[in-house]
Amino acid sequence: MRRSTGEHSLDPSGYDAELRRHNEVLRRICGVRLQDVVLDIGCGTGQTTREAARAAREGNALGVDVSAPAIERARESARAEGLRNVTFEVANAEVHRFPQERFDLAISRFGTMFFDDPAAAFANIGRALRPAGRLVMLVWQPHDRNEWAVEIRQSIAGFEGAASTGPDAFSLGDPATVRRILDAAGFTEITFTDVDESVYYGPDVDAALDWVRRFACTSEIVKRLDAADEARAVGRLRETLTAHLSDDGVWFGSRAWVVTARRGAPSR
């Protein structure tokens, strides 16, 4: 539900702005060390990768994403910031041939929920980590615990074709499921930290509406509507966003997990 057609925009209501509070939580729990070699999965335009590179001044960071435009913007930002220990590649972490036992830490900010085969993906990531290497990832908790998801879906419910058919942003929301996947992939010391932070959609309703209309779960539905239904759907979205407008912008409640784990010792 939550892939956006323009989700890595750098505008004031873009993806990095939306997740500003989550980003602080992730950065704190990652605790990137001076000499770490870091892999950032689903890095988008590379904010988290560049932050990891700045912390790992005697190490380096690699960001991967399936979006070529996002990776190009990540490279441009790294050049502009003068970062020499960061690289970016267009790659699907599920199948990409990473150097084995190369990385001390694999991180992800909502970039691991869309794998076709999660078991294969995390096994592949595990092989890229050194023994006892760490995995730290942010994932959404189930749909009904996320105010933004519930209210956006309610806003466009009732229109023909309004059922969501895209990738499931909540596929890793159930701890038992995640634990089973990671355990099968050879991870140990699996923990879940509850993240109760709001997401930011923009400084005003117009900016927030522009941002929300780019979400896959809204754009794919709205583009199938006739002009009259589109106007009604957008009007309902505007009402929902207006109800969440405060003095410092449009905010919605959300719940996420920070999942941490370690790669177990390789089998003999």
CATH topology of domain 15-263: Rossmann fold (3.40.50)
Mean of the per-residue pLDDT values of the chain: 91
Q: What is the CA radius of gyration of the chain?
A: 19
Query: Residue 27: its pLDDT value, please?
Result: 96
Q: How far apart are CA 235 and CA 172, in angstroms?
A: 32
Q: What is the pLDDT of residues 97-118, one digit of tens each?
A: 999 999 999 999 999 999 999 9
Confidence of residue 266 (pLDDT cuts 50, 70, 90): low
Query: Residue 220: its pLDDT value, please?
Result: 82
What does the pLDDT average to over 121-128? Answer: 98
Q: What is the pLDDT of residues 9-66, one digit of tens each?
A: 444 458 899 999 999 999 999 999 999 999 999 999 999 999 999 999 999 999 999 9
What does the pLDDT average to over 199-203? Answer: 96
What does the pLDDT average to over 133-157? Answer: 95
What does the pLDDT average to over 126-148? Answer: 97
Q: How far apart are CA 194 and CA 206, in angstroms?
A: 31
What does the pLDDT average to over 157-174? Answer: 76
E strands present in the chain: 37-41, 60-65, 86-90, 103-109, 129-140, 187-195, 198-202, 245-246, 249-253, 256-263
Contact 55, 33 (CB under 8 A): yes
Q: Is the pLDDT of residue 216 over 90?
A: no
Confidence of residue 164 (pLDDT cuts 50, 70, 90): low
Query: Residue 82: its pLDDT value, please?
Result: 96
The two three-digit tokens of residue 267, written as one number:
């089998």
Contact 112, 136 (CB under 8 A): no
- Pairing between strand 245-246 and 86-90? unpaired
Percent of the chain with pLDDT over 70: 91
What does the pLDDT average to over 197-220? Answer: 92
Q: Is the pLDDT of residue 167 over 80?
A: no
Residues in the chain: 268
CB neighbours of residue 73 within 10 Å? 18
Q: Which residue has the higher pLDDT, 4 or 160?
A: 160
